[in-house]
Structure 1
Amino acid sequence: MYRPRAWILNIGNELLIGRIVNTNGAYIARELTLRGVRVERIIVVSDSLDEVATTVREAIGRADIVVTTGGLGPTDDDITMEAVAAALNLPLVLNTAALGMVREFYHKRGLELTKERIKMAYLPKNAEPIPNPVGAAPGAYIYYSGVHIIVLPGVPSEMEAMLKIAIEKLDPFLPKLCIVEEGITVTGIPESSLASLLRKASKLCSDCYVKSHPKGHEIDNPIVEVKVLASAPDCDTARSKATRVLDALRKYIGGI
């Protein structure tokens, strides 16, 4: 079964200088993975129109789904919509529906529409605005040359709420898979000693992702978390695949 490929672009100088931790990339990657999408890249890009546009062009040439975060606000360095429009060779236009969303947000708070606030309603031509239940700036959904492009804010609470809306738009195009993650914690055995056992157990499921995560010291206090990500058309089969791998691993560990 074909699994769509995704690139995630997290935009903002604050990420590159280490002022903000990029939690958005991890959150989006997990949400897409659990829906059968194969996330191939997470890229952090500066607040540069040329850099963002270039990266978006590369992404749409190699992915089925492109998700961007950041750069949708009212300030001069919020250039993501303009950059996406440039990447797609589309004009940036005042979107009537997006303007209504922005107007309603500020009207409820007794604030007028300034040009900086109206700026947040400019989207690439033919883009569908994604409502923002938490903040002011709408996002955008664009279907371009077979690629689904989702443009979201960088504030995590806003991004998370809007990603749910965006995924509903993607749902008809996503594989009908159940993704299950199961795991065990192994103590007292160094990860280096587990490596061959993991390799052996993982051969029992060709389409499972088996990964060890060391949580303690390799020798002094070995604690290793083992996770198995399994997929199947139904959840019972997916869970059975993961359980088979973990049961085999337990058996191999017991034989050490």
Structure 2
Amino acid sequence: MKSKRRLQTTFDIISIGYELLDGRILNTNAKWLAEQISGLGGKVCRIIAVGDEVGEISSVIKDSFRRKIDWVITTGGLGPTYDDVTLQGVAKAVGRKLVLNKRALEMVRKKYLELFEKGIVDSPELTPHRMKMAMLPRGAKPLENEVGSAPGVLLKFKKTRIVCLPGVPNELENIFEKRVKPLLERSVKKIHTADRWLLIKGVPESTLAPKIDDVRSRFPTVYIKSHPRREEGESIINLYMRIIAQNPRICRETLDKVEKIITELAEELGGVVSRLEGAPR
């Protein structure tokens, strides 16, 4: 039996660092990346946070391979310290050794020479800890980091591409926008999306829910999510609808049908329905 063809290019975001797991740091990198990927038409399937452990990193990457994810993006763990072990985890997942990458080493050398000339570091020497940032899985390509010292990394394993980015937000964003985004713009499947918000007053969510379930079964390509609240004792629902398709006309016509059906169902239940211009505040 053939697997169902995916309409969208799929992504897993793997955020690495104990500071994320114990609540010291808010995972703003994952949010930013998810926004960028979604804006390009990609689908983020999972956002996962793991600690600085080679086995944990390898395990979640292997799970992405098992699920045939198109792109895996890791954040954090590329620096010179003992607990920067992301590339060790990647190497274990793909079954390759870490090797000294000449291009990555040159990037690190130039960066520390620049930092030395600015008086930021005492020496431009390529110490073992600095050279560690140029040890990449065999076959990987370094991605220039214009802001910090650790290069990003690009690697292909079977049909999955792996991108490793630093955890420092401005470094991550620089490498993504300059080195990764152009690749994604060429490889992410071209799709069209459309969404709408409806404001429904006077119908409890529990009363409307069975009706929405029926609509979803008739239109499985449309994502429908209700956001209920109460104001002065009245039930209010902000209803979000979103569709993804290869044809913009299909998006528009399908949402028109779904909006009409939901409006009629809500009005039959005594509700008042209006369309919102953009997301509610």
Check whether TM > 0.5: yes
1:123-147, Cα deviation, whole Å (9 max, x unpaired): 2111112223433322111111111
Structure 1 portions without partners, runs of 5+: none
Mapping for residues 9-28 of structure 1, pairs under 5 Å: 9-28=14-33
1:28-61, Cα deviation, whole Å (9 max, x unpaired): 3343344444433222111111211222222222
Q: Tell whether 2:125 aligns with 1:119.
A: no
Q: Tell whether 2:106 aligns with 1:95.
A: no
Q: 1:131 aligns with which of 144, 163, 169?
A: 144
CA shift, 1:79, in A, is 0.6
Q: Tell whether 2:219 aligns with 1:205.
A: yes
1:79-112, Cα deviation, whole Å (9 max, x unpaired): 1012111221212122222233333333333242
Q: Residue 186 and residue 114 in structure 1: after superposition, are their counterparts in 2 closer, same or farther (change >3 A)?
A: farther
Q: Tell whether 2:192 aligns with 1:178.
A: yes
Local SS of the residue matching 1:71: coil
CA shift, 1:206, in A, is 2.4
Local SS of the residue matching 1:18: coil
User: 2: CA distance between counterparts of 1:182 and 1:134?
Assistant: 39
Q: 2:58 aligns with which of 53, 69, 75?
A: 53
Q: Tell whether 2:65 aligns with 1:84.
A: no
Q: 2:243 aligns with which of 211, 216, 230?
A: 230
Structure 2 portions without partners, runs of 5+: 271-281
Greater radius of gyration (CA): 2
- % identical aligned pairs: 35
Local SS of the residue matching 1:108: helix
Q: Is the 8 A contact 1:182 1:243 kept in 2?
A: no
Bigger CA drift: 226-235 or 183-192?
183-192
Q: Tell whether 2:147 aligns with 1:147.
A: no
Provide the TM-score with structure 1 as the length reference. 0.84
Local SS of the residue matching 1:93: strand
Provide the TM-score with structure 2 as the length reference. 0.77
Q: Residue 235 and residue 96 in structure 1: after superposition, are their counterparts in 2 closer, same or farther (change >3 A)?
A: farther
1:199-225, Cα deviation, whole Å (9 max, x unpaired): 3443453212222234x4598464433
Bigger CA drift: 79-88 or 223-232?
223-232
The number of aligned residues is: 255
- Calculate the aligned-residue CA RMSD, in Å: 2.8
User: 2: CA distance between counterparts of 1:108 and 1:240?
Assistant: 57
